[in-house]
Chain A
Amino acid sequence: MKEKWSNPPKWPDKILKWFCADEHLEILQGDLHELYEYRLATQGKRKARLHYIKDSFDMLRPFALKKKKSKLRINSLTMFKNYFKISLRNMRKHKAYASTNILGLSAGISCFLLIFLYVQDELSYDRYHEHANDIYRVITNSFNEGGELNRSFTYTSPMHGQELRESYPQVVSAVRFNPWNFPLIKYKDAQFEESYFNFVEPEIFEIFSFNFIEGRAETALTDPYTVIITESTAKKYFGDDNAYGKTIEVIEQGTSLNYLVTGVVEDFPDQSHMTYNFMASWESYESSASANDLNDYYGNYNYPTYIRLSKEAEIGDLTSLMPAMLDNYIDNIDGFVPSEKIGLTFQKLTDIHLNESAGAGGTSKMYYVNLFSVIGVLVLLIACVNYMNLSTAKYANRLKEIGVRKVMGAKRVNITQQFLAESVVYAFIALVIGFVLSLLALPMINDFSEKQLTLHPFENQGVILVSLGLTALVGLLSGSYPSLFMSKFNAVNALKNGKGKIKNRSIFRTALVVFQFTITIALIIGVTVVDRQISFIRNQDIGFEREQIVNFWASPSINENLEVFKSQLLTNPNIIGSSASSRIPTGRLGDALGAHTFNEKTKEKVGFRLPFILVDADYFEVYDIQLLSGSTLSKELKADTIQNFIINEAAVKGLGWGSPEEAIGQKMEYGWYSGFVSGVIKDFHFESLHSAIEPMLFLQANNNKRAMSVKISGQNIPETLDFLETQFKVYNPDRTFNPSFVDDLFNAQYETEQRLSEISKVFSFLAILIACLGLLGLVAFTMEQRAKEISVRKVLGASVGGILVMINRGYLILIALAFLIAVPLAYYFLSSWLETFAYHIKLSASLFILSGLLSIGIALITISSQALKFAQSNPIKWLRND
């Protein structure tokens, strides 16, 4: 019987095609079909189909399967040599393009490397201690009446450390420090004022790690009047001799004591938040401090305390036990349960450096670590994007080469490998150049950030890893798009047409350009805002006069003869006035006592915490602080029992009085003083503009006022300073005179912001440079593609200007888009940064528009520089070959 013809099922064919080697496929399928026809005739359609399917699968035997390209592996080494050679050849042929590309990549890599060094350094602080992860610093928190956090101190009361050590098993050990006031250290001829002299308990060695050069940890701090010094200190005093066993003289406040050197330790590394050049035994302190001092559980916050937690314990558990301890040992404070007024928390050692505020309050160092990391990645990304755009543009000219390769047997994967290899070569060259750039920039960066960053691979193993990883990443990432893009081309078309068909507009590439510009615009906005904020702060009226005021530490001997000293100063015609106080503006308001005022109606005490400074009668005149009501302090100190309090406006509001006038005459108790409010002065910024103005009180008392402020006329400044030094030496022949100007101190508060502004300017400039380089290349390419079109237009009468407009218009749309994306981003981040300042500029529309215009300007210049070349050229040149 002759069945009607029907085709065998198609799907087994597909499966066979997938698995079968090319050389066998046709033959085998032919046999299958023939057998199908045979069976169709002899056995019928169903059997024929079934057999067909069975036979198809049966054909999938080892001999028929596609062989693995083992030959490729053997060849790949040779091929890569070829790829390398061709890359270099191409670079030499197109020097301009190659150098633009490499420059962009190097800039990006260099940026990244430097930021990496910075971040690596910041994150490594204090990690060198063996138990670093278990060490915590004890923080004392003070709460106001509303239960809100008032202030935190990195100091504790003396008994806290001891209690933690003895009564809590999860605390392996605890150590207390007591920093001392700049004693004078003397050994034979060497005599220096030392600022880092500390009393420490012997338990310090159970917590922190020290390397002893002389002496041993077990015996170093066990006896009174013994001290350990650091290596560089030993060199300073003893030269190359051994320090161990020698005696040094410690002079402070007129008393001189002898300390025995019982150990020399290695210097603290830079990555340590503490630097104590002298560590004296705690027993020495104990025998000198009053007994009362060391038994305090409350107040007397002068002792930095650290603990080491046992590995199994949780710090949260310990924290929750603290309120109970405080309540146990402290009497009620102002009628409140102690744990409601103060609290103890624990800060991880490794967090200390990063949480330290960068600047006087405001953002922490961690914030900047994150910020710079982000910037580093962004700049690198821009550089890679650049490479992608530039190389895709130029590869259009290599179509012939790709065509030939494909004809010779290269598969798509080979082409991809070739271009990936080429981008890795670029990346490697860029790495070398970037490395050199970083080396050159490093000294400047080190100066700037006061660090000692090093790129040396032996000193910094991280560098090698990062460099290699970076090369690979940059190379592969940047190369991914171009190589995939290029390998798509049909070889035949490429050889036939010469130029080949490449879409002039590729969405991906457009997106890349928009991305670059978004980042650039955002950076421009950022830089502008930071700059404005800094000058805003600089020029803000701080409420006191900071020019021409010299500040230096008033020693106790000066304090004892204060009036004589001050009148002596006035004999100099260049000195206008002087004042002694406990702190000066631009410092922190650290001291506070409790204030009590009396409610008019109920005659009840109302408690209030008020920071204070000690002043003398001339203080307000020297700093030109305006008096609002009442009178300032008079020269004669009234009897100690009744005080004249001077407060600021904020204090008036805080204490609940309606106006400055109302406050005058109000009865007040402050700490152990009692008296009346006799004057109100206008608010001024004692602390930096990072914080709002706090209420404060000015106290006149005979206690030690540590700071001298001298107002000078501004003429003959060097002679005036010499005069001051002479006067100083009359009372302190052994001390060094260290004057500073208050306006310098003021500027120092904003040093970090200043630095940030500088750094962001540099990075923005780099990013803009890279983006412009990329734009240049892209425009150059597009121009070449459109050369014929432009020539035709010119022939038809278009002017150079007209052509420029036409070309720029296309890109303008992209920039506008980038602008729309960049603005909200920049707004979000910048407003959160500005929030860290209590006083900041507003982000106005004009700011954004200005930045936008600037970006457009830059882009236009870049584009036009390339476009001009083509627009001005003779059209014949391009049309000739058609």
Chain B
Amino acid sequence: MKGTYLGEFEEIVLLTIGVLQDEAYGAAIKLEIESRTSRTPSIGALHSALSRLEDKGFIDSREGGATKSRGGRRKRFYSITVAGKATLLKANELRNELFNLIPNLSTDGLQ
């Protein structure tokens, strides 16, 4: 296992894959991230992250879905593994924990 640290960007990607369910492939993930957050990752950076996530065992891939607009080339669909889900939950928990520990942090006064 190549370490189990989940980077910030990797977390976003992983979450997006969860959101997209069965339609989670490269270009779609990128467009989804762009529309939901205001980040614009390059397709190269995205695939790099996807490759890392796969190496860490957080996502699985399968191939299929060749379309004309891709020149007949297939897509690679990603799905979250059990380990991936566990990591996400842990990360979420950790964040909430820390958040709740900060005194006087309420949403009053913030937009």
Contact = CB atoms under 8 A, between A and B. Distances in A.
> Is B truly associated with A?
yes
Interface of A: 24, 26-35, 37-38, 54-55, 58-64
B63 A59 contact: no
B63 A33 contact: no
B63 A61 contact: no
A421 to B, nearest CB: 37
B83 interface: no
Contact of A31 (B27, B63, B66): B27
Given A38-B31, A58-B44, A27 B26 contact: yes
Contacts of B47: 24, 28, 31, 59, 61, 63-64
A63 B48 contact: yes
Given A38-B31, A61-B48, A30 B70 contact: yes
19 contacts: A24-B47, A27-B63, A28-B26, A30-B26, A30-B70, A30-B74, A31-B25, A33-B69, A33-B71, A34-B67, A34-B70, A37-B69, A59-B47, A60-B44, A61-B44, A61-B45, A61-B47, A61-B48, A62-B48
Contact of B76 (A27, A60, A62): A27
Interface of B: 25-27, 30-31, 42-45, 47-48, 51-52, 63, 66-67, 69-71, 73-76
B43 A26 contact: no
B27 A34 contact: yes
Contacts of B25: 31
A34 B69 contact: yes
Nearest to A13: B71
A34 B43 CA distance: 11
Nearest to B55: A63
Given A34-B67, A63-B52, 8 more contacts: A26-B73, A27-B63, A30-B26, A31-B47, A34-B27, A58-B43, A58-B44, A63-B51
A29 B69 CA distance: 11
A194 B52 CA distance: 93
Contacts of A38: 27, 31
Nearest to B52: A63
Nearest to B25: A31
Contacts of A27: 26, 63, 73-76
A59 B44 contact: yes
A54 B44 CA distance: 10
A352 to B, nearest CB: 74
Nearest to A8: B71
Q: Interface centre among B42, B51, B73, by most A CB within 10 Å?
A: B73
Contact of B73 (A33, A61, A62): A33
A104 to B, nearest CB: 55
B51 A33 contact: no
Instruction: State the 6 A-B residue pairs at the shortest beta-carbon distance, nearest first.
Output: A30-B73, A58-B44, A30-B70, A63-B51, A31-B26, A34-B27
A59 B69 CA distance: 19
A28 B42 CA distance: 12
A55 B44 CA distance: 7
A61 B48 CA distance: 7
B63 A32 contact: no
- Which of A30, A32, A38 has the most chain B CB atoms closer than 10 A to its own CB? A30
Nearest to B54: A63
Contacts of A32: 43
Contacts of A59: 43-44, 47
A487 B76 CA distance: 35
Contact of A58 (B45, B51, B75): B45
A37 B68 CA distance: 11
A30 B44 contact: no
